[in-house]
């Protein structure tokens, strides 16, 4: 659709007024954004959703080439451009930028109209606060916007999956051990960004650049990587070995609404050091992506890489070489790691004394900073077939599937702040019937349910349940 026609047809010129801390009024012009379906890509051999039998055959036969190609196909679809624009923004929204957030899904469950008018507002990553309140090595300069694909969002809305009363019904009335499974076309994402304070005229910014993991069992946050690149936001900026144009990143500029809600989110903390302004650049530095194509979901994580053609661990040149030609522009400058199984070779869904080799898959900008104390060290290990015990209780030895298997809530504590008692796990085989989950309700690998639980009506529900 022609851009001008689309803007004229879709723009909702409705003004809303908000009070700032200094009593000034902010006016935002809202524009309708429609969640985009995963696109048809025309990549040979790629389908989404892929049949679970096909994916499980790749896993069973250790066909990593097919797994890597599939992960890249998902990334190509997520970063594809739509025909939707934010007024004043020259760049079209990408598919992932149109998807609903958990907060918007909760509004829909409550029959509150969702006026999706912008990209998702930036927040502190939930995982940085789960069992790690005393960790000082966690990166505090990244911000996230968790989102659900249309298929995942529809499922969550129809099943009221974010409501504590719903989860309590499953656990107490229906005596279930797990929430209903999401559909095969469900995708959940966690994009993470850095804000560059460019509105004041500054054009060059140094950011940490991943150079590979440490072998030590320690947290390895950005400030310890010892490598950085310079991002140049000036128009016409050139890229060389150490300086990169902002156009080498998936990025956007904060508008009035973005800046207002960003500051509202972070200035509540008296130690806040962020003061975003309209015009500041926002660059995408990473994204976790899970798809429900198989029972344990597929997991792929992406991060911006100055050496995307030959990236360090947990990615590799083998993975980079399988990027499809359909993946173009800035999206091609990201590296990938995948977790289609917890340990190698593929493990069963249940069992004990499972042996294997590590399968590390983590995002440097999200998990690398996690050190001992974040993960449960008594269960974060792998026993190899040769009898070796490999400890995995740090971020650079973690695995997306292992950790998300732990996503659960405690039905007896849904009206408290401690709704989950299951810990984070590094890279380890975790059975779905592990004793860790005794009296817990599993959340189909979705920590985002626990992190966005809505307790509306829970007290009266509990009162009626106990009568």
Residue 1 pLDDT more than 60?
no
pLDDT of 2: 39
Separation CA 296–CA 288 (nearest Å):
15
Bond from prior residue into 13 cis (ω within 30 degrees of 0): no
Separation CA 272–CA 275 (nearest Å):
8
Average pLDDT over residues 405-419: 88
pLDDT of 425: 95
- Cα torsion angle, 235, 239, 240, 243, sign: positive
Residue 285 pLDDT more than 70?
yes
Beta strands in 264-307 (DSSP E): 281-291, 298-304
3-state secondary structure of 207: strand
pLDDT of 379: 93
Contact call for residues 204 and 232 (beta carbons, < 8 A): yes
- pLDDT tens across 54-78, in order? 999 999 999 999 999 999 999 999 9
The region of weakest confidence among 210-214, 234-238, 268-272, 320-324 is: 268-272
Separation CA 467–CA 458 (nearest Å):
14
Extract the tokens encoding 298: 């597929």
Average pLDDT, the chain: 88
Q: Shortest CA distance to 188 belongs to which of 404, 408, 455? A: 404
pTM for the whole thing? 0.91
Q: Shortest CA distance to 132 belongs to which of 390, 342, 336, 403? A: 403
The region of weakest confidence among 54-58, 329-333, 408-412, 463-467 is: 463-467
pLDDT of 346: 80
φ and ψ at residue 204, rounded to 5 degrees: -120, 135
Grade residue 115 by pLDDT with cuts at 50, 70 and 90.
confident
DSSP per residue over 328-382, as a string? -GGGGGEEEEEESSSSBSPPPSS-SS-B-B---B--TTTTTT--BTTB-TTT-EE
DSSP per residue over 402-452, as a string? HHHHT-EE-GGGTTSS----PPB--S----TT-GGGTT-EE-TT-HHHHHT
Separation CA 123–CA 402 (nearest Å):
25
Contacts of 304 (CB under 8 A, 6+ apart): 249, 283, 284, 285, 286, 333, 334, 335
Grade residue 413 by pLDDT with cuts at 50, 70 and 90.
confident
Q: Shortest CA distance to 185 belongs to which of 156, 146, 150, 147? A: 150
């Amino acid at each position: 659709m022609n851009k001008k026609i689309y803007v004229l047809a879709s723009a909702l010129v409705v003004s809303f007024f908000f009070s700032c801390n200094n009593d000034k009024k902010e006016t935002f012009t809202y524009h309708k954004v429609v969640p985009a379906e995963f696109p048809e890509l025309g990549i040979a051999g790629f389908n989404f959703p892929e049949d679970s039998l096909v994916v499980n055959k790749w896993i069973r036969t250790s066909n990593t080439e097919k797994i890597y190609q599939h992960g890249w196909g998902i990334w190509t679809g997520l970063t594809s451009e739509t025909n939707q624009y934010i007024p004043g923004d020259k760049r079209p929204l990408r598919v992932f930028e149109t998807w609903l957030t958990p907060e918007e899904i909760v509004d829909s469950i409550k029959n509150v109209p969702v006026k999706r008018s912008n990209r998702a507002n930036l927040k502190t990553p939930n995982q940085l606060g789960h069992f790690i309140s005393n960790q000082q090595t966690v990166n505090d300069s990244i911000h996230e916007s968790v989102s659900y694909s249309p298929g995942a969002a529809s499922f969550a809305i129809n099943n009221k999956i974010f409501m504590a009363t719903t989860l309590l019904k499953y656990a107490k009335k229906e005596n279930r051990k797990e929430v209903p499974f999401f559909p095969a076309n469900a995708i959940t994402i966690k994009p993470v960004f850095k804000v560059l304070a460019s509105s004041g005229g500054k054009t060059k910014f140094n950011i940490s650049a991943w150079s590979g993991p440490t072998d030590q069992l320690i947290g390895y946050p950005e400030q310890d990587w010892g490598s950085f690149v310079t991002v140049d936001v000036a128009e016409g900026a050139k890229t060389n070995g150490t300086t990169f144009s902002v156009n080498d990143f998936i990025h956007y500029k904060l508008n009035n609404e973005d800046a207002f809600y960003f500051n509202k989110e972070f200035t509540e903390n008296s130690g806040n050091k962020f003061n975003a302004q309209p015009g500041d650049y926002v660059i995408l530095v990473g994204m976790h992506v899970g798809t429900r194509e198989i029972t344990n979901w597929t997991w792929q994580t992406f991060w911006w890489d100055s050496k995307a053609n030959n990236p360090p661990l947990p990615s590799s040149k083998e993975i980079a070489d399988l990027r499809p030609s359909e993946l173009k522009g800035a999206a091609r400058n990201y590296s990938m790691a995948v977790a289609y199984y917890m340990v190698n070779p593929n493990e069963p869904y249940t069992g004990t004394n499972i042996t294997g080799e590590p399968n590390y898959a983590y995002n440097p900008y999200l998990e690398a900073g996690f050190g001992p104390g974040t993960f449960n060290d008594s269960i974060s290990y792998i026993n190899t077939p040769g009898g070796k015990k490999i400890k995995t209780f740090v971020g650079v030895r973690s695995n997306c599937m292992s950790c998300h298997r732990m996503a659960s809530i405690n039905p007896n504590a849904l009206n408290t702040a401690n709704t989950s008692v299951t810990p984070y796990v590094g890279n380890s085989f975790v059975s779905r019937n592990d004793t860790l989950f005794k009296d817990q309700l599993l959340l189909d690998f979705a920590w985002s349910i626990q992190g966005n639980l809505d307790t509306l009506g829970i007290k009266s529900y509990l009162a009626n349940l106990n009568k």
